Amino acid sequence: MDTKEIREKYLECMKKQEHAIVPSCGLVPDNDPTTLFTSAGMQQMIPYLSGQKHPLGSRIANSQKCLRTQDIDEAGDNRHMTFFEMLGNWSLDDYFKKEQLGWIFEFLTKEVGLDPKNIYATAFRGLPEAGIPKDGETANVWKELFATAGINAKDVDFAEEKGMQDGRIFYYDEKKNWWSRSGTPQSMPEGELGGPDSEIFWDFGAERKLHENSPWKDLPCHPNCDCGRFLEIGNNVFMEYAKRSGAVAKMERHNVDFGGGLERIAAASNNDPDAFKIDLFSPAIAEIEKLSGKQYGADVKMTGAMRVIADHIRSASFLIADGALPSNKAQGYFCRRLIRRAIVKGNQLGIKKNFLPEMASIYSNIYLNIYKLPQATIAAELEKEETKFKKTLNEGLKEFEKSAKEAGAVLNGKQLFDLYQSFGFPLELSLEIAKEKNIGVAAAAQDEFGASLKRHQELSRTASAGMFKGGLADASEQTTKLHTAAHLLLAALRLVLGEHIVQRGSNITAERLRFDFSHPQKMAPEQIEQVEALVNEKISQNIPIAKEEMNLEDARIAGATGAFGSKYGERVTVYAIGDFSKEICGGPHAENTGNLGRFKIAKEESSSSGVRRIKAILE
């Protein structure tokens, strides 16, 4: 079954069980500066899991775009991806274990068609010293479900020590089968929610290749073993505990948080442990084979390089689509790191031409009717990055070899920083190349690199002293008018240039408006004219500016946008200008667009890599 069918069937199953289907939020959180990316579907649900009422009720489901930076180090194997989709459903003090496990078992076995004989489950072993009992309730629910498929499911403990023991349901400790945002029951902070979870594994049944150097050669096999036989395809979290007065205690309310990896469920449906053989990747892998002349699966190292390219270009495409254009800061830095790693892997495969835009267009077509990926914007950004990095890549690799010889096969922090400053090699990329080439790195090298980078940034700071800090210079009438015009400007830019446009900063005085936004190239004169005309059209329509206070989630559902990752509270103020603009903002604003005067763009220029700046006035 392909991923489109799986996604649709899952959401349809949840609809039948009276779940409201909410859209995926962006990869760049618009209300949480504590994290770079959306790494799980539950991130947007945190206020409601904590007790706040969800405007759509107590049963919610979606398919969420996710990105996990830590998985970049695992990329290249047959199952880890930096970008993935998570099928999720939540019970907010509504149904609990019996309903949740029953619906998921039915979805996997009846809708996706997975053979129950290859499905295994886990439960929490308990933690008596924290007053948390063994989760026999979950095990019993699983036994009943397996019995409906004619399977006598035995629950066993300590499989990590004793092996499978003919078991079907396996108990694990708090490191494996307890979930909270902040670790185990003992390490949870005061007020934190958590609970036991129940993971679902697929057994590929293949014999493990236990060569003499295998780390699993002499270890017992079990579902949570990493030998490759089992693949986790879903996790049911039963959030029924909270830390109160230093102890973990049961709450009166209970929640369910389910997450199932779409790509992994598709791999299970294929009954092939290589998740890069599913429909989402096969066209990209075929293109890489064509470009490189190499065959996927023929060589471990080359196959790993192909997987990295296929994964990283998909991730970078979605990041660019969500406004995280490649740069040297925050989300943009990780996007650039993905792109450069893909280029290095392409070089290893012998791909000489620029190939990233072609790869990205494959994903644009694959997701055509699911997610809107602005193909032209993504292609332009990747072309620019690839051209720029390839100019220095070969020289940088030569310098890398030269530095290694001079260092006597042990690189120091200064050499790593020189590679970064002169050739654009991020520290992580240099460390990876060193590992591939069996070149040593001095123990203090990373600290030395950090110190050099800090000195470099301090010296660079004076060069950027003239850059604006953002916000309004004052609350005068003219500044207020220009602030209102900034809302019209953002909406117009998104209409003319595309929905990838995200505000990156603003500085408004009584004399002028300065507005930064994510966009990879210079605006054409006709685009500037279109934006100007759109803003002036809305001014001429004398539209009243409406102000409304609402919950953050209600604002998001209503389509309101927020500016550059600000952290909002639970209640926000939304300013709407007809159906043209709707933004979360603190004000102040004019009462009517007709009060603004004529809008004029004085200048459009580059602000930084991937960010453009508009200077405008009201005449």
Is there a single domain that holds both residue 96 and residue 166?
yes
Same domain for 535 and 389: no
CATH number, residue 205:
3.30.930.10
Mark whether 363 and 424 lie in a shared domain: no
Residue 403 domain-assigned (yes or no) = no
CA distance between the termini of the chain: 60
Distance, in Å, from the CA atom of 567 to the CA atom of 551, rounded to the nearest integer, reads 14
Name the DSSP letter for residue 221: -
Which residues are CB-contacts of 380 (< 8 A; sequence separation ≥ 6)?
357, 520, 521
Ranges assigned E (strand) in 178-263: 178-180, 193-203, 230-244, 247-261
Proportion of the chain in helix, strand, coil states, percent, rounded to 5: 45, 20, 35
Angle between helices 375-406 and 330-348 in degrees, nearest 10: 70
Please give the distance of CA 124 from its chain centroid, rounded to a whole number.
28
- Which one of 376, 398, 420 terminates a domain? 398
The count of domains in the chain is 4
Q: In terms of domains, do 29 and 139 share one?
A: yes
Which parts of 4-45 are beta strand (E)? 20-21
Number of helices (H) and strands (E) in the chain: give both, helices first: 18, 20
Taking every pair of Cα atoms in the chain, the longest distance, rounded to a whole number of angstroms, is 80
Length of the chain: 619
Domain of 507, CATH number, reads 3.30.980.10
Instruction: Please report whether residue 14 resides in a domain.
Output: yes
What region does 93 belong to: left with phi over 0, alpha with psi -120 to 50, or beta?
Answer: left
| Burial of residue 379, with CB atoms counted within 10 A of its CB: 0-12 exposed, 13-18 middle, 19 or more buried | buried
Pair of tokens at residue 93: 């003090």
- pLDDT digits 0-9 by tens, 7-16: 999 999 999 9
Residues 6+ apart with CB under 8 A from 21: 11, 14, 15, 61, 62
267 found inside a domain: yes
Whole-angstrom distance, CA of residue 8 vs CA of residue 107: 11
CA-CA distance, 470 to 516, in Å (whole number)?
Answer: 10
Give domain status of residue 375, yes or no: yes
Beta strand pairing call for 83-92 and 599-608 = unpaired
Residue at which a domain ends, from 244, 276, 308: 276
Residue 228 lies in a domain: yes
pLDDT value, residue 468: 33
Is 423:395 a contact under the CB 8 Å cutoff?
A: yes
Q: Which amino acid is at 169?
A: I
How many CB atoms lie under 10 A from the CB of residue 423?
20
Distance between CA atoms of residues 441 and 18, nearest Å: 56
Q: How far apart are CA 13 and CA 61, in angstroms?
A: 10
Strand (E) or helix (H) holding 333 = helix 330-348
Residue type, 381: E
> CA 73, CA 275: separation in Å to the nearest integer?
17
Measured CA to CA, the distance from residue 340 to residue 419 in angstroms comes to 14
**Are residue 515 and residue 485 in the same domain, yes or no?**
yes
Radius of gyration of the chain (CA): 27
- Verify that 131 and 215 share a domain, yes or no: yes
pLDDT of residue 197: 97
49 lies in which domain range?
Answer: 3-276
Domain match, 501 and 434 both? no
Q: Which one-letter DSSP state was computed for residue 31?
A: S
Residue 553 to residue 60: CA distance in whole angstroms: 13
DSSP designation for 426: -
Spell 261-271 as b/e; 16+ CB within 10 A means b.
bbbbbbbbbbe
Residue 454 CA: distances (Å) to CA of 466, 519, 543, 610: 20, 28, 49, 23
Residues 599 and 533 in one domain: yes
Residue 406 lies in a domain: no
Domain end position, chosen among 444, 465, 486:
465
237 and 129 in a common domain: yes
Is the N-terminal amide bond of 525 cis, ω within 30° of 0?
no
Q: Position of tokens 């498929």?
A: 149
The answer to whether position 240 is within a domain reads yes
**512: number of Cβ within 10 Å:** 18
Contact 589, 93 (CB under 8 A): no
* Token pair of 569 as six digits: 């509270």
**Mean pLDDT per 10-residue interval, the chain, length 619 residues:** 96 98 88 76 85 92 93 87 97 98 98 98 96 96 98 97 96 95 86 94 74 73 90 97 91 95 97 96 97 95 95 97 88 91 92 95 94 93 93 82 74 85 80 84 88 72 39 72 93 91 84 89 93 94 88 76 52 85 83 93 86 92
Condensed to tens digits (0 to 9), the pLDDT of residues 269-306 reads 999 999 999 999 999 999 999 999 999 999 998 999 99
Considering the domain architecture, whether residues 175 and 223 belong to the same structural domain is answered as: yes
* Cβ neighbours around 177 below 10 Å, total: 24
Predicted pLDDT of residue 460: 47
Same domain, residue pair 196 and 296: no
Residues contacting residue 571 through CB under 8 Å, at least 6 positions apart: 549, 550, 551, 552
Query: Rounded to whole angstroms, how far apart are CA atoms 303 and 307?
Result: 6
The predicted structure's pLDDT at residue 567: 45
- Domain membership of residue 405 (yes or no) is no
Give the residue carrying structure tokens 């004989």.
117
- The Cα-based distances of 248 to 92, 126, 189, 242 in angstroms read 20, 12, 10, 6
* 428, 349: one domain: no
Distance separating alpha carbons of residues 369 and 375, to the nearest angstrom: 13
Are 188 and 180 in contact by the 8 Å Cβ rule? The answer is yes
CA distance 27 to 337: 16
- Residue 56's alpha-carbon distances to 21, 100, 256, in angstroms, are 9, 19, 16
